[in-house]
Amino acid sequence: MKHFVIVLLGVILLTSCATFQERTLSQVKEDLDCIKYKEGINWGQISEKFSDPDIAPLPEHGTDLIRNTRVYKDKVIIFYTEMQEVKEMEKVRFYEVVTNIEVCKEK
């Protein structure tokens, strides 16, 4: 009986803790330093904020040396989503689509 009560109290405590994790985006971002993606953003802004990339891959075979990619490990990505209305066989349906991306590092 004693063990049962301890386990029950433990479960109640754990489930209660779940509600403490609710945070809004602005609360989450208090610990982060972010940059919002938009097409044409200057690379200098990225490298200034995140310093040198962890990996600088060679271009794929058959592509162009001036089209490059840079890889950062352990960065935080924030996706902004919205509903988008579509028609599927004359019926209205909705998908979640990404409308914005932010890449962040921990402060």
Site of interaction with another protein (CB under 8 A):
8, 11-12, 15-16, 18-19, 22, 81, 83, 85, 91-96
Nearer to another protein, 37 or 94 (CB): 94
Q: Where are the alpha helices (DSSP H) in 1-107?
A: 2-20, 25-28, 43-50
**Least distance between another protein and beta carbon 82 (Å):** 10
Q: 10 Å Cβ neighbour count for 70?
A: 14
Residue closer to another protein by CB (options 37, 79) is 79
Give the tokens for residue 38.
């938009």
